[in-house]
């Protein structure tokens, strides 16, 4: 679906989604203060999956049963949830939540590049190629050339964030090839369930039992992280895709960044280097070129 203008309701949903996802980076950092990264991620996907089970069952949506679809959902759960969420939690032990939000925006750079490689119908047109090139230039400015020459914890954390966004892009191609016959809500339920079933035993082996006897503020943060930042956000995201189109929904990638940076500054007194802001400005320009509407409107 392509829609050149956004309705007032779509704008409201975009802003709400950006506030929710932008706050997710701060929530991750706060939870990392009290538990291991794999436990943070497991809490996120486990309770989000249970919330979506309730939603899907109440709506009466048909559930897949064939082995091929279930296998595809399992792969999607690893690539779109378990792996990127774990990489981001690992990264946020070292880097600021605001910087994590900026690097997360590179999802929209890797997306068209990966699609052009693996999907015959997705050509990398000149304006997209220019946008991808600018996006990578922005990435280099954000992380700094010195980070590419040495692997200290901060450099590894930034590279882990980039790896998580590449995983998102690859998963998007996988979903288009194998999961388009499912309702988006059912696909989200399947992948979150698969990632929860994967992370629970991994967490038990690597970090011990999932902590449940936690202080009330931590339990509230977990509930917000799972039910709002993950389950509810997926429902809003897919609603936007249906009503406003994928191109308009991509705007949330940009809107998330000021939310993440502002919350990190206000709550944890984070201070980002100037190159992070300069790199994001270049990255944002690249995303505008990838979107292409500004060029079409100028020609019109």
> Could you state, in order of their start, the residue ranges of all structural domains in the chain?
8-299
Q: What percentage of residues in the chain have a pLDDT greater than 70?
A: 93
The pLDDT value given to residue 125: 82
Question: Rounded distance, CA 279 to CA 1, Å?
Answer: 31
Contact 143/158 with Cβ under 8 angstroms?
A: yes
The predicted model gives 196-224 an average pLDDT of 97
What pLDDT was estimated at residue 243?
Answer: 83
Q: What is the pLDDT of residues 1-28, one digit of tens each?
A: 444 567 888 889 999 999 999 999 999 9
Predicted local distance difference test score (pLDDT) of residue 120: 79
Q: pLDDT confidence of 233, banded at 50, 70, 90?
A: very high
Query: Which tokens is 25 given?
Result: 């980076």
Q: What is the pTM of this model?
A: 0.91
Asked if the model's pLDDT at residue 231 lies above 60, the reply is: yes
Over residues 81-98, the pLDDT tens digits come to 999 999 999 999 999 999
Average pLDDT over residues 281-294: 82
Contacts of 48 (CB under 8 A, 6+ apart): 192, 226, 227, 230, 231, 234
Q: Tell me the average pLDDT across 152-171.
A: 92
Name which of 165-174, 223-232, 239-248 the model is least confident about: 239-248
**Residue corresponding to tokens 């709002």:** 228
């Amino acid at each position: 679906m392509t829609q050149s203008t956004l309705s007032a309701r779509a704008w409201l949903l975009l802003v709400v989604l950006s506030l929710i996802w932008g706050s997710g980076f701060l929530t991750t950092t706060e939870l990392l203060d009290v538990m291991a990264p794999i436990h943070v991620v497991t809490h996120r996907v486990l309770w989000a999956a249970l919330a979506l089970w309730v939603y899907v069952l109440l709506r009466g949506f048909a559930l897949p049963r064939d082995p091929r679809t279930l296998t595809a959902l399992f792969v999607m759960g690893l690539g779109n949830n378990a792996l990127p969420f774990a990489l981001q939690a690992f990264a946020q032990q070292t880097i600021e939540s605001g910087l994590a939000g900026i690097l997360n925006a590179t999802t929209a750079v890797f997306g068209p590049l990966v699609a052009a490689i693996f999907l015959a119908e997705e050509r990398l047109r000149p304006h997209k190629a220019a946008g991808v090139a600018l996006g990578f230039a922005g990435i280099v400015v954000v992380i700094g050339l010195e980070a590419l020459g040495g692997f200290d914890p901060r450099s590894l954390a930034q590279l882990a964030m980039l790896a998580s966004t590449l995983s998102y892009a690859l998963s998007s191609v996988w979903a288009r090839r194998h999961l388009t016959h499912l309702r988006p809500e059912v696909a989200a339920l399947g992948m979150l369930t698969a990632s929860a079933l994967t992370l629970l035993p991994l967490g038990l082996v690597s970090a011990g039992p999932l902590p449940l006897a936690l202080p009330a503020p931590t339990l509230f943060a977990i509930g917000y992280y799972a039910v709002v930042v993950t389950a509810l956000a997926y429902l809003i995201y897919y609603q936007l895709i249906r009503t406003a189109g994928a191109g308009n929904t991509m705007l949330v990638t940009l809107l998330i960044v000021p939310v993440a940076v502002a919350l990190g500054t206000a709550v944890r007194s984070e201070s980002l280097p100037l190159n992070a802001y300069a790199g994001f400005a270049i990255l944002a320009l690249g995303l505008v070129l990838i979107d292409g509407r500004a060029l079409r409107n100028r020609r019109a």
